Chains A and B, each alone.
Chain A
Amino acid sequence: MRLVNDVLDKLVLDREKRKAGRVDGIVLELRDDQPPRVVAIESGFAVAAARVSERWSRVAIAIGKRLGVRKTPRYRIPWEKVKDVGFDIEVDVDAINSPMMAWEKWLRQHIPPK
């Protein structure tokens, strides 16, 4: 598997096959005398923004904190929860009750019905 090509930026589908977000970052564990190990994938605008500029990331985190909807700007999904790496990344997570879809959940509670 080529991590950057096959995992990074791919669409994350939760256990209900809902579009939950994108793989904005990959967390590796560096080990002595052994190759690095993939620990988790990360999701969150601040994670993606950090790939462009740390300042952007800090701004995103500060705005997120002020708005207070999403509890954590960096949401980590342990690699053990990754069920399939294909065209999309399928994870064993209930996204709607996770920080990935915190804004979606909040907006659903605040917008009028059709």
Chain B
Amino acid sequence: MKNIGQIALGILTAIGGFLEIGTMATSAQAGASFRFSLIWALVLGVICLIFLIEMTGRHAAVSKHSLSDGVRERFGFPFSVVPRTADIVVNVLLVGAEIGGVAFAIKLLTGYPIVVWAVPAAIVTWMLIWLSTLNIIEYSTAGLGMLAFAFVVAAVKSHPPLHEVARGFVPSMPRQDAAHYWFLAISIIGANVSPYMFHFYSSGAVEEKWDEKSLTMNRVTSIIGMGFGASIAMMVIICSAMIFHPLGIQIDKYEQIAFVLVPALGKWGIPLFAITLGICCLGAACEISLGTAYELAQALGWNWGEDKKPKQEARFAVTYTVMLAVGAILMVTGIDPLKLTMLTMALTAVVLPLTVIPFLVLMNDEQYVGKHTNGPIGNTVVVFTIVLTSIVAIVTIPLEIMGGS
């Protein structure tokens, strides 16, 4: 049962990283504009992510301290205040985008606009967190998230040219619209390798009382969870490439993405897309608001825990409540959720290096991880990710201006 719980934590983490509104949007845009040629960005992101998620789980299981704890303790307040503040700002925008995703999903089913559903969507998310436990959120979201296999069915039924799909695994230079190509590449990386995933996963591991016996399962979980998420995101790229690209359709509205399942599933395509999107965005909104509450509570030494009653960890509970309230307000103002999503993906990419750099110290500190320090491969991946995310951070803003949607 504990193993299933571990995998559910991995899948929920992956849903928040891969199957939420950000990845749906960037993947659909990538497929529509550049067919399969941006699959490599997804693959690159998921390889880095599998390693980093495994490390956060290992750190939590051995030290019983989360990533945010470790950063504050090893790097001090003056260092940790910068990434934590940046994360919180970006996460508030992300929660807004996810609430927008849930509201958009309901809009597809009912016809009423997003502004009508933003507050109910935020209340449902809040009630799920307030009234339930981490396990209930994990099992329900991870279980219902399996509806995302609809994208696999749709991709297979669209009969993509496999040799072209395979070519997409290798990075290539764009033939046209280079700024938009590279903007989408970094958005895909930014949409997938998100700091809140590390905080959520490591805090979940502490909350579920992982220990050194959990390390093998942690490895399996990071591969299965992230692999599942990335595979579905790849299917969205394939579906979008097969449906929108031949028609010359550029994705600039959420409504267009909703048609991605229609050729394969007919009249069930839009309802199934709406339900899958709604569930995944709900899971992502839970993950981001909880992840932020974990992060803040750990950085400041508050008591925390989703499994405790809100009155026992009041500051933690108030943090995720405020997050959801601000996210709902953002959506009520009528802000375009797709534009907000693309902006937050780019901002996530900017703050990523500050989150990844501490891995190099924490995962080699025997006081925290004992004999389970990183080997040469793990350290190489961390260094590579730091270089990659630093390049991404530097080029994001210019590309946002030149090639953003």
Contact = CB atoms under 8 A, between A and B. Distances in A.
A100 B301 CA distance: 10
Interface in B308-325: 309-312, 314-315, 317-318
Interface in A80-101: 87
Nearest to B368: A87
B311 A9 contact: no
Interface in B210-255: none
A111 B301 contact: no
Q: How large is the interface on B (under 10, 10 to 19, 20 to 34, 35 or more residues)?
A: 20 to 34
Contact of B72 (A22, A87, A107): A22
B73 A104 contact: no
Q: How large is the interface on A (under 10, 10 to 19, 20 to 34, 35 or more residues)?
A: 20 to 34
Given A10-B73, A18-B303, A52 B78 contact: yes
Nearest to A13: B301
Given A9-B72, A9-B73, A52-B81, A22 B300 contact: yes
A111 B78 contact: no
Contact of B302 (A4, A9, A48, A104): A104
Interface in B72-92: 72-73, 76-78, 81
B130 A114 contact: yes
Contacts of A24: 77
B302 A19 contact: yes
A114 B301 contact: no
B72 A114 contact: no
A21 B301 CA distance: 4
Contacts of A51: 76-78
Nearest to B81: A52
Contacts of A103: 315
A111 B318 contact: yes
Given A87-B63, A108-B312, A108-B314, 14 more contacts: A20-B301, A24-B77, A43-B301, A48-B81, A51-B76, A52-B78, A52-B81, A87-B65, A87-B367, A103-B315, A104-B303, A104-B314, A107-B318, A114-B130
Interface of B: 63, 65, 69, 72-73, 76-78, 81, 130-131, 300-304, 309-312, 314-315, 317-318, 367
Query: 4 shortest A-B CB distances, which residue pairs?
Result: A107-B314, A22-B301, A21-B301, A19-B303
